[in-house]
Amino acid sequence: MQRTIIGMALGLVFVAAIACSGGSDSPNGAAAQPTSTPPAARATQPAIAPELQSTQDPSASSGDTGPKQGGVFNTLWSDPPTLDPHLVTDGTSYGIVIEVFSGLVKLGANPSNPFEPDLAESWSVLEDGTVYEFKLRNGIVFSNGDPVTAQDFKWSFERAANPDTASTVAEEFLGDIVGIQDIVDGKTTIAKGIEVVDERTLRLTIDAPKAYFIAKLTYPTAFVLNRNNVESLGRNWVDEPVSTGPFTLKEYRIGQRIRLARNDAYWGRSAYLDEVVFNLAGGVAMAMYENDEIDVTGVGLADLERVQDPTEELNKDLVEVPPNFAVSYVGFNINKAPFDDSAFRQALNHAVDKQLIADQVFSNLVKPAYGIIPPGFPGFSSEIKGLEFDPELAKDLLAQSAYADPSSRPRIVLTVPGTGGSPGLTTEVVADMWRQNLGIDIEIQQVEWATYIQDLHRGRLQAWSGLSWQADYPDPQTFIDVLFRSSSAINYGGYANSKVDEYVVSAQTEQDATKRVQYYNDAEQIVVSEAAWLPLWWGVDSKALVKPWVQDYAFSSLTIAKFRDVWLDK
């Protein structure tokens, strides 16, 4: 559910995508960190430039032919709305949190088996799929030396669900555990489905067998925190967090920089880098890259032809980036007029010529989206029939809607994240097509990112753009169920259809993989046909620049922790 803000269409910056929805008005989101989210997992192998491939054992610590310890990696970022894992809903926060904190399991690079042990060394599935028993690694500790125990996980899960924590996603990511919903509802503070068997053994009981449950535990909502650290420092605990990830937070100066330092107490092989520095002050990414201020950047339209020229010095740094498993969109609040009328929403969909925008505005660096689930992702179906460009049909639908008369039509405000300047090329072009093809004028309103996310969660927005939703794990549930089930806390538009609910609830417990995917496809077709969204773009292959001294920086279609494996050859 990662949300990524990538910014202007002509200048890609590496900022985290979103649980996650990611924000992106840019076609060049190739290197957005998810999911929506966050975001998180991938169903494709990470792509690494041939000249960056390392044939050495990654466990090697030094030497001229293998990874070396030391050095500082610099990247461009933006201020995260939160560094509390239990509050993460955006990719900007997610990309930092997954380097500092960790959970029982994590997403890995193997598409056939994407879930790997993290702080748990193993797990067993019992009682016909309703009980998960995790065995923690022996001797694991927090960065301050305190042991990590099963009790820490129990406290962390219950803390995430507690209304006082104010997590907007705990119900979605932990709600399958028996008793978590009662905590969310304020009825208790203890979940009976979380059992501490002994110091190293945690048993979780869920309400029904669910194929995606282990995937949900890779999201930061399920990360472990140090209780004394949180309770002793109160609201300011994230200024000095005790961590379990490969890095610790060394410094955070709002609007200036975040510095992560290697965590020498990490349970696995230590990170090679001394520090990762996230530049928060902003700037022109390409200029910063050419001035050696940052070590990696995406390539926007304005620079694409230049960097692809073999005679250019920058060409040797060029790297192919696989498409994100993400979809960018315009969202509609179904509970606010005029978006409570499906014919009006359908008219808006049919009035936008996405292929023309892709061809003439973005030089085919975007792929028009007519469904929700991206190509190549588990559950994608080419059979989904989208609402394609048809201006005459759009006019007919508008005439059939309750808002055909412009004199009585409510004022329409489309909100985008930003602090002034252009609202984004995609937003402007879409608004212009609505004006030209339907005679519908809208007001574009910009708000600061943290406020934008807060308003989105609270259902205050009438319509919104500048967002993409990136998968948190490789399962269609993260798109169709999480986004469009009527009871989902992440269904920001308030969309509700009883048949969609029936399909996604059936898919939750369906053990036959083929039937399960079909449920999601059937639900997706209804969502698309009723125009719950205006899908815009799916990710496409794109380009990035990586400094020649940076080794083993991997790009992937979903967001995972990456800096532990990066090393500098200089």
Which secondary structure element, helix H or strand E, spans residue 161, and what is its range? helix 150-161
Same domain assignment for residues 379 and 528? yes
Q: What are phi and psi of 140, to 5 degrees?
A: -70, 145
Within a domain: residue 11? no
List residues bridging with 550 in a β-sheet. 568
Q: Does residue 289 fall inside a structural domain?
A: yes
pLDDT of residue 347: 98
Tell me: pLDDT of 237 over 90. yes
Residue 21: strand, helix, or coil: strand
| Matching residue, tokens 């499906």 | 342
Q: What mean pLDDT comes out for the span 222-234?
A: 97
Give me the mean pLDDT over the 493-522 stretch: 97
Percentage of the chain surpassing pLDDT 70? Answer: 88
Task: Lowest mean pLDDT of 51-65, 253-267, 357-371, name the range.
Answer: 51-65
A 10 A CB-CB count for 138 gives: 9
| Whether 425 and 525 share a structural domain | yes
SS3 label, residue 544: strand
What pLDDT does residue 1 have?
55
> How far apart are the C-alpha atoms of 508 and 511, rounded to whole Å?
9
Give CA–CA dist 461/456, Å, rounded.
6
Per-residue pLDDT, averaged over 254-264, amounts to: 97
Does the residue 241 lie in any domain? no
Mean pLDDT, range 265-274, rounded to an integer? 97
- Reduce the DSSP state of residue 482 to 3 states and report it: helix
Amino acid at 164: D
- For range 269-293, the mean pLDDT: 96
**Structure tokens belonging to residue 11:** 């200048």
**Helix (H) / strand (E) containing 121:** strand 120-126
Taking the C-alpha atoms of residue 197 and residue 202, their distance in angstroms, rounded to an integer, is 6
Q: What is the CATH number of the domain that holds 130?
A: 3.90.76.10
**Residue 95: which H helix or E strand, with range?**
helix 91-100
pLDDT digit string, tens, across residues 75-98 = 999 999 999 999 999 889 999 999
Co-location of 331 and 434 in the same domain: yes
Give yes or no for a contact between 476 and 517, defined as CB atoms under 8 angstroms apart: yes
Of residues 14 and 517, more confidently modeled: 517
pTM of the shown model: 0.86
Q: Is residue 16 part of a domain?
A: no
List Cβ neighbours of 80 (8 Å cut-off, separation of 6 or more): 16, 90, 92, 93, 96, 97, 258
Q: What are phi and psi of 366, to 5 degrees?
A: -125, 155
**Strand residues in 354-499 grouped as ranges (E):** 367-368, 413-417, 443-447, 463-470
Same domain flag for 430 and 332? yes
Structure tokens at 169: 């996603």
Q: Does 355 lie in the same domain as 389?
A: yes
Within 230-363, strands assigned E span 247-253, 257-262, 275-279, 296-298, 318-321, 326-332
What phi-psi label fits residue 439: left (phi over 0), alpha (psi between -120 and 50 degrees) or beta? Answer: left
Q: Is residue 478 part of a domain?
A: yes
Average pLDDT over residues 249-256: 97
Residue whose C-alpha is closest to residue 557's, from 41, 5, 27: 41
359 within some domain: yes
Same domain, 32 and 51: yes
Q: What is the CA radius of gyration of the chain?
A: 23
Write out the H or E segment, with its range, that includes residue 117.
strand 115-117
Residues 473-499 have a mean pLDDT of 96
What's the structural domain count of the chain? 3
> Is 80 exceeded by the pLDDT of residue 130?
yes
Which range, 12-16, 87-91, 158-162, is most confident? Answer: 158-162
User: How far, CA to CA in Å, does 83 sit from each of 88, 258, 456?
Assistant: 7, 11, 19
Contact 52, 553 (CB under 8 A): yes
At 415-439, the pLDDT tens digits run: 999 887 778 888 999 999 999 999 9
Q: Are residues 358 and 481 in the same domain?
A: yes
DSSP 440-475: ---EEEEE-HHHHHHHHHTT--SEEEEEEEE-SSSS
Distances (CA, A) of 399 to 164, 355, 405, 530: 48, 25, 8, 17
Structure tokens at 83: 């560094």
User: Is 303 part of any domain?
Assistant: yes
pLDDT at 25 over 70: no
∠ CA 459-524-363, rounded to 5°: 85
Q: Is the pLDDT of residue 562 over 60?
A: yes
Residue 14 has pLDDT above 60, yes or no: no
**Close Cβ partners of 295 (under 8 Å, ≥ 6 residues apart):** 73, 74, 75, 289, 546, 547, 549, 550
Decide if 254 is inside a domain: no
The residue-averaged pLDDT of 363-387 equals 94
The answer to whether residues 363 and 435 belong to one domain is yes
If you average pLDDT over residues 236-263, what whole number do you get? 97
Domain with 82 in it: 21-96+285-323+541-568
Q: Output the pLDDT for position 48.
A: 28
- Which DSSP state fits 286? H
CA distances for 38 relative to 148, 295, 520, 560, 566, angstroms: 25, 23, 21, 10, 22
What pLDDT does 111 receive? 64
* 21 has a pLDDT exceeding 60: no
Residue in 566, 559, 568, 569 with CA at minimum distance from that of residue 46: 559
Mark residue 366 as left, alpha or beta (left: phi above 0; alpha: psi -120 to 50; beta: remaining).
beta
Instruction: Give the model's confidence band at 57: pLDDT under 50 very low, under 70 low, under 90 confident, else very high.
Output: very low
More confident: 543 or 111: 543
- How far, in Å, CA of 45 to CA of 53, rounded? 13
What was the pLDDT predicted at 324?
87
- One domain, residues 176 and 82: no
- Both tokens of residue 407? 């004199």
CB atoms within 10 A of CB 392: 9
Collapsed DSSP state (helix, strand, coil) of residue 320: strand
Separation of alpha carbons 427 and 442, rounded Å: 11
Helix and strand element counts for the chain (H, E) = 16, 22
Whether 87 and 97 have beta carbons less than 8 Å apart is answered as no
Peptide bond into 80 cis (omega under 30): no
Position 35 scores a pLDDT of 30
Question: What pLDDT is recorded for position 3?
Answer: 46
- Average pLDDT on 374-394 reads 97
> Any idea what DSSP says for residue 177?
B
Cα gap 529→513, rounded to integer Å = 24
User: Does the pLDDT value for residue 125 go beyond 90?
Assistant: yes
In tens, the pLDDT along 304-359 reads: 999 999 999 999 999 999 888 999 999 999 999 999 999 999 999 999 999 999 99
Q: Is the pLDDT of residue 46 over 80?
A: no
CB 520 within 8 A of CB 507: yes
Query: Among the residues of 102-255, which ranges form H helices?
Result: 150-161, 170-174, 180-184, 213-216, 227-233
Taking 90 as the threshold, does the pLDDT of residue 47 lie above it?
Answer: no
Whether the Cβ atoms of residue 542 and residue 9 lie closer than 8 Å to each other: no
Q: Is the pLDDT of residue 42 over 50?
A: no
Residues 137 and 172 in one domain: yes
Angle at 92 between CA 87 and CA 97, to 5 degrees: 55
Q: Are residues 483 and 496 in the same domain?
A: yes
CATH classification at residue 499: 3.10.105.10
Task: Kindly state whether residues 33 and 150 are assigned to the same domain.
Answer: no
**CA 260/CA 251 separation, integer angstroms:** 7
Task: Examine the fold and report which residue of 234, 258, 274 is the final residue of a domain before the chain moves on.
Answer: 234
